[in-house]
Structure 1
Amino acid sequence: MEQRPADMPVQPAPQTAPEIAARPPVLRRINEAHRELDYLLFNLDRVPDAQSRLLALAGKLMAAVEDGPDIALACILHNQDEGSYAVRHCIDTAVVAMLVARALDKLPNQILTIVAGALTMNIGMLHKHEQLQTRLNAISQDELAAIHAHPEVGADILRRAGITDEEWLDCVLLHHENEDGSGYPYGWTGERIPVTVKIIALADRYCARVSSRSYRRSLLPIEALRDILLADQHLVDPMLTACFIRVVGMYPTGAVVRLASGEIGVVSGKGSDSTAPAVQVLVGADGVLLGTPVMRDTGNAGYGVREMLSSEQAGVRFRMWQVWGEDARP
């Protein structure tokens, strides 16, 4: 396996106060990463030094997530109009995978590999992904065959583009393998599947479920988590699932909730425990939209979370900066 150059950055250097003040908003940087990834993936055969370009992009995305993890998680639910689904899904998966890997105390180089793997995991079916996103009828046998082939196709595309990191290539090749051997392309089980791959696969499952498609509605985050805990329990590593739940939370950042008070708000981050997130109330108990969001302590029984809602059920629209401040401006 070829080693990365020793001087290749994997983490941003500590920033001074003027640098922090001058940096672009986190949301803008995530959107810029989306646009750059879109260009690189669709033009990889014409990109010189593709490995370095993709690793640099992964590093920039990691820096943005470090600066605003709550904003990055909220983007998965509230930034779905940004560009194409195929590329946006890779960004979303990379964000979740990075946060889980960090919680597992993975080394910086390992996290960089995981993020790069997530960003490129679907390069073998980019055009097919866009076609599937806009179709309304059932998937054909030919399309199903293309879906099952895309990990191997993707790894081959990356090799031809000069990607030499075998762990990165494994992330792309194996990200649809399952714990019980029911995955593809090889049907590997349990310990044979690298943990780096399992992290991406779990993040991929969650992000796909909470994203809307033309052919199915998106699941509420709590429904997606329930699927992973119950329907997918034989497909995923239970140790990783436990870590994933700790990172994302039972009420993930960005989820729209109704409180015991009757107020409706958005989970803005973690609170005192997994069942008591920080919530910014947008709609009062009387159903009137508030001019300015109000923070509620959901650890207080009077403001506990009663239920999770879709944006349509809540009947509320807002801009991310109203909840997460200036760093959430596009």
Structure 2
Amino acid sequence: MPFHLRNEDGQILAYRGQLAQRDVLERLIFRGRQLFIDAAEDYSGAWDESSGNGPILRPRGQNWYDYQEEANVLLRLPEDPRFLARLTRFHDHLRELAIANPDAALLALFYLSTIEVRFYSATHAMLVSVMCGLAARNVLNWPEDKERTLSLAALSMNVGMTELQDTLARQTTVLAPDQKVLVANHSSRSMSLLHRAGVTDPEWLEAVRMHHATFSGGLGAEVPWAERMAHLIQRADSFGARRAPRATRAPLVAARAMQSIYFDQNKQIDPAGAALIKAVGIHTPGSFVQLETGEVAIVVKRGQITTTPKVLVLTNGDGVALSRFIARDTALPGQRVARAVERSEIKISINLEKILAFA
């Protein structure tokens, strides 16, 4: 199978790479079962759909949990001969999703980054890539080729320590000496792995190598492109890390995490941090807020300004879960954001796919 085969609920019936016999699949269809594949996967030419009664496989819609799983597998295999082709294809699809509906992409990735730590490294890489791409396109007006190189570098910045990152997110003890060495050297190791995988773009490689450097300058034309890219990645990386939970601490609320990247080490406004905040908002899609009404809501869209997002109310002023969502525009009087809310304060279950329908 060149793709996961799913039922109508999205559950996987046969995993990519498994053997599947056509007669078995046809018996399932004869019994009234429908078979699905994810529309995000490249299955063109992989299956004969001319069965006489129409296609036996139907593309499913977007599923961010699947993208998270795919990135988790992909970024652990930088030495696979097919890595670069797969990375580029995955990146280009992720970028297309972010261009088509940036609010939905931000909502899904910010939400996923705060709910658990199993796929921390992959989710973090996807989030930083989308954030950097949005800032470069919509705020800084970078040329398309530079923006694409930036978001590729962001997605691949940690291939030298993907598995270790996931381990550290769950670890409750201090770093062991060998872990400290791997963390300290991961930028150079990531660059080397990418070069061996076939990456020849010097700006991509240099941005990965420098993405943990300290920057105090601007993003002007006098600054080399690789340094500008690394600066944006470093700020977005820092923000994403503060938003994600660890076994030893809860994530920072979005507004506090944003404040931490707005100023540089000299207490001056950081141009990269400012661009990212303008791109994604103070209260990012996927974060939670309490309104002046006392209602608690999830942010689903950015507003006209960074502090006035569009939200869906989850609980009323008494903390009771609502039977249906209520949309609010926090730019309106009486509905403004009173405070940011930590994910741990939300005591109700959330269906991401239903929320995404409003983004």
- Which TM-score bucket, shorter chain as reference? 0.7 to 0.9
* 70, 84, 91: which one aligns with 2:103: 70
Q: Is the 8 A contact 1:209 1:219 kept in 2?
A: yes
- Counterpart of 1:216 in structure 2 is 249
Q: Secondary structure at the residue paired with 1:293?
A: strand
Deviations 1:9-41 (A, max 9, x none): xxxxxxxxxxxxx97544x1x444433333333
In 2, Cα distance between equivalents of 1:100 and 1:240: 9
Q: Which structure exhibits the higher relative contact order, with contacts defined as CA atoms closer than 8 Å and separated by 6 or more residues?
A: 1
For the residue of structure 2 that corresponds to 1:282, the secondary structure is: strand
User: How far apart are 1:83 and its partner, in Å?
Assistant: 5.3
1:285 aligned to 2:317?
A: yes
Report how far residue 195 of structure 1 moved: 0.9
Q: Which residue of 2 aligns with 1:186?
A: none
CA RMSD of aligned residues (A): 2.5
CA 1:300–1:34: 2 relative to 1, 3 Å: closer
Q: What TM-score comes out, normalization by structure 1 length?
A: 0.81
- Shift in Å at residue 176 of structure 1? 0.4
**Residue 259 of structure 1, CA deviation:** 0.8
Give the match's secondary structure for 1:303. coil
- Between the aligned partners of 1:292 and 1:214, the Cα distance in structure 2 is 33
Bigger shift: 204-213 or 160-169?
Answer: 160-169
CA contact (8 A) 1:89 1:207 kept: yes
Per the normalisation by structure 2, the TM-score is 0.75
The alignment partner of 1:45 has SS state of coil
User: 2:190 aligns to what?
Assistant: 154
Structure 1 residue 292: Cα displacement: 1.3
Kindly indicate whether residue 70 of structure 2 is the aligned counterpart of residue 36 of structure 1. yes
Aligned partner of 1:206 among 228, 239, 253: 239
Tell me the number of residue pairs that the alignment of Structure 1 and Structure 2 aligns. Answer: 294
> Shift of residue 268 of structure 1?
1.3
Deviation at 1:287, TM superposition (A): 2.7
Give 1:6-85 correspondences, 5 Å limit.
24-26=60-62, 28=63, 30-48=64-82, 50-80=83-113, 81=116, 84-85=119-120
Q: Which amino acid letter does the alignment assign opposite residue 225 of structure 1?
A: M
**Counterpart AA for 1:101:** A
More helix per residue: 1
Q: Deviations over 1:286-316 (max 9, x none)?
A: 3321111111122222111111111322433
Identity, % of aligned pairs? 27
Gaps of 5+ in 2: 1-57
Partner of 2:55: none
Deviations 1:70-112 (A, max 9, x none): 1211223322448521222111111111111112112222222
CA contact (8 A) 1:94 1:115 kept: yes
Q: Offset at 1:210?
A: 0.3
**Greater radius of gyration (CA):** 2
Residues 194-237 of structure 1: per-residue CA shift (max 9 Å, x gap): 2111111111111111011113221111111122235x444997
